[in-house]
Chain A
Amino acid sequence: MFLQRFNLRQTAPFIALLVLILIGSLVHPNFLTYSNLIQNVAARTAFIAIIAVGATFVMASGGLDLSVGSMSAFTAGAMILFLKSHEASGGALLIAQGMGLAVVVGLFCGLMNGLVVTWGRIEPFIATLGSMVILRSLFTWLANGGSLSISPELKDVYAPVYTGSFLGLPIPIIVVLLVGTVAALILYKTAFGRHVLAVGSNEEVARYSGISILRVKLLTYVIQGLCVAIAVILYVPRLGSANSATGLYWELQAITAVVVGGTLLKGGRGNVWGTLAGALFLETIGNILTLSNVNVYLIGAVQGAIIIIAMLIQRGLNRREI
């Protein structure tokens, strides 16, 4: 009986997603097609989903990272500038180097956030709000206020990373599943994962049991930075460019996906697969609303209402189990 109820909590985000897909299939006949649901919606969820996996670690440990959207823009900007400056030698090797650079930039940004929060002992909300503004401004500076694009030739070489597929699955989805699997292994099967949850549920107790709080927290921000870099590696080939709208509000979408997925905002519980379901849930709402004939001015209201209703139902399920 207990096991059954426990599963209910774990699976609630997936049930919500299934209900939404059911509604979608009633709204438009083309909703439930491979090209819409997999090639379009699931593939374009990839950026937020991967970033939200990183945010799952940060939030499960009781932290918060508001800078992920700006960090995405900055990382994408640095990567595109690098690719542009070496365009003459264009090719797969150059793109691999660009990916490597993105990872370095992402890790560095995450490390900085982590150090300010842990070593500097600044509240994560303020620390990452600061880096959010700094990184956005640095991007605008890199782009000279406009947009940054790679050449069409190089984009053609890079594009398959977003548009290609393997065994019938678009590559972005495969990457999301890989990231999810690795993240789930780390969070559920390693000592570090247990430490993240322990720090998030009660920092004092975790400290007395000998966990290095600073190290654990620092690492969650570094993981977040790495996840942003992976998302950027998938984002750049889609349009081959970045501008001031890149990454705008991604932090809010990622945090919402994490919470909808069953991770507690105050920390102590993390659900990696739930996060992925949450991200897909948010993107699917947008898709259904565009396919439906809801008044264009009211789309935001409907979107917000669906999220709140889904959370209320989940809360109801959780309460029953106690």
Chain B
Amino acid sequence: MKRRHFGYAAVAMVAAAVSSKAQAEDKPLVIGVSIPAADHGWTGGVVYHANRIAKAIEANYKGTKVIVKTSPSGAEQASALEDLVTQGITALVVLPHNSDELTGPIKKVKEKGIFITVVDRALSDPKINDFYVAGNNPELGRVAGDYMKGKLGKADIVIIRGLPIVIDEERQKGFADAIKGSELKVLDSQFGNWSRDDAFKVMQDYLTKYPKIDAVWCQDDDMAVGVLEAIKQAKRSDVKLVVGGAGMKEMIKKVADGDAMMPINVLYPPAMVGTAMEMTAAGLVNKNPVRGKYILDATLVTKDNAKEFYFPDSPF
């Protein structure tokens, strides 16, 4: 009797092993997407585009599932990653809140054999990610600087910076390198904290401080809103050009409409999360090689190409 039982058990185990192997082969591709919650304009855009592309991937690749999870903080994102692993993801696309806090948790996901795509904010240990997609901050500064140099020739300009963090420094450095040796004179450079209200104040004070300002570089479209309003309220006609950046829909629309004071924009698009998701899916489903780095350039948006970058339904 005992032996017979053992025999049944062995058969059952083999059967179970075979069927689970078969399941593993048919297992549909599940892509987990972990991004910060919409806490400011740009991340609002990230959430919008992640959901937009999730639908597109599920429609294009039959049987593929995309789970988008937003997290309001780094700690909560770490828990969200664990939940995604529990839900059986085969690939993870992650835009980390910050590199220091999330490098460890992402490494744990990697150790489960899951394909890792990191977006925008590089991890402390770059060996963890299989694929990396990011915008180009030094390039955002360089493109803006090159354009202003070419457009203005000899001119007095003011700069409004973001917050004193790496992103801001890279943009500043790119800009400074681009205008080195040119006839652009930087009168002043102060922090506007990527805030409309603070940029409004700084611009008001610049207008008090300097009798003649030819152009403003404020690297970010939210701050450009405050800058434009301050100039308008001061009724100053000396400022001819305001260059923002990142591609906020209201500003892209201005460019498309041929606004005289804002003829261009420099992209740092939240839609890059979509690029990362599409390429991850393409790599895993169709076996295209997608390992390595994919750095977007900081595209110069002009009246001619503005339509390509205009998403009227996006919150950003």
Residues of A within 8 A of B (CB): 28, 30-31, 33, 35-36, 40, 44, 140, 143-147, 149, 163, 238-239, 241, 243-246, 248, 286-287, 290-291, 296-297, 299
Pairs across A and B, CB under 8 Å, 9 listed: A30-B208, A44-B201, A146-B38, A146-B41, A146-B45, A239-B197, A243-B196, A244-B40, A296-B190
**Residues of A contacting B226 with CB < 8 Å?**
239
Known: A145-B39, A146-B38. A239 touches B196 (CB 8 A): yes
The answer to whether B197 and A40 have CB atoms under 8 Å apart is: no
B147 at the interface (CB under 8 A from A): no
A147-B41, A245-B193, A245-B222 given; name 15 further pairs at CB < 8 Å: A28-B209, A35-B208, A144-B315, A145-B315, A147-B315, A163-B233, A238-B200, A239-B197, A239-B200, A239-B229, A241-B225, A245-B194, A290-B201, A291-B205, A296-B191
**Residues of A contacting B202 with CB < 8 Å?**
290
Contact with A along B179-207 (1 / 0, CB 8 A): 00000000001110111111011101110
**Residues of B contacting A31 with CB < 8 Å?**
208
* Interface majority SS (helix, strand, loop, mixed), chain B: helix
The answer to whether B40 and A243 have CB atoms under 8 Å apart is: yes
Bound Cα distance A143, B233 (Å): 26
Point out the residue from A35, A144, A239 that lies within 8 Å of B38, measured CB to CB.
A144
Point out the residue from B44, B189, B225, B234 that lies within 8 Å of A239, measured CB to CB.
B225
Bound Cα distance A287, B200 (Å): 12
Bound Cα distance A229, B258 (Å): 37
B114 at the interface (CB under 8 A from A): no
Give B40-80 interface residues, CB cut-off 8 Å to A: 40-41, 43-45, 47-48
**Residues of B contacting A246 with CB < 8 Å?**
196-197
Taking residues whose C-beta sits less than 8 angstroms from the other chain, chain B's interface range is 35 or more
Quote the shortest CB–CB distance from A192 to chain B (angstroms).
Answer: 34
B250 at the interface (CB under 8 A from A): yes
Point out the residue from B40, B164, B315 that lies within 8 Å of A297, measured CB to CB.
B164
The answer to whether A145 and B193 have CB atoms under 8 Å apart is: no
Point out the residue from B48, B191, B209 that lies within 8 Å of A30, measured CB to CB.
B209
The answer to whether A146 and B191 have CB atoms under 8 Å apart is: no
B316 at the interface (CB under 8 A from A): yes
Q: Which A-chain residue is minimally distant from B226 (CB atoms)?
A: A239
Quote the shortest CB–CB distance from B9 to chain A (angstroms).
Answer: 54
The answer to whether B197 and A245 have CB atoms under 8 Å apart is: yes
Quote the shortest CB–CB distance from A308 to chain B (angstroms).
Answer: 22
**Residues of B contacting A33 with CB < 8 Å?**
208
**Residues of B contacting A143 with CB < 8 Å?**
44, 315
**Residues of B contacting A140 with CB < 8 Å?**
37-39
Quote the shortest CB–CB distance from B198 to chain A (angstroms).
Answer: 7
Known: A145-B47, A146-B38. A290 touches B315 (CB 8 A): no
Q: Which A-chain residue is minimally distant from B196 (CB atoms)?
A: A239
**Residues of A contacting B194 with CB < 8 Å?**
245
Bound Cα distance A291, B202 (Å): 9
Quote the shortest CB–CB distance from A282 to chain B (angstroms).
Answer: 12
**Residues of A contacting B44 with CB < 8 Å?**
143-146
**Residues of B contacting A145 with CB < 8 Å?**
37-41, 43-44, 47-48, 315
Q: Which 8 A-B pairs rank lowest in CB-CB distance, beginning with the nearest?
A: A145-B38, A146-B315, A145-B44, A245-B195, A290-B205, A146-B44, A244-B40, A36-B208
Known: A146-B316, A245-B197. A40 touches B204 (CB 8 A): yes
Bound Cα distance A163, B209 (Å): 20
Point out the residue from B198, B209, B222 that lies within 8 Å of A147, measured CB to CB.
B222
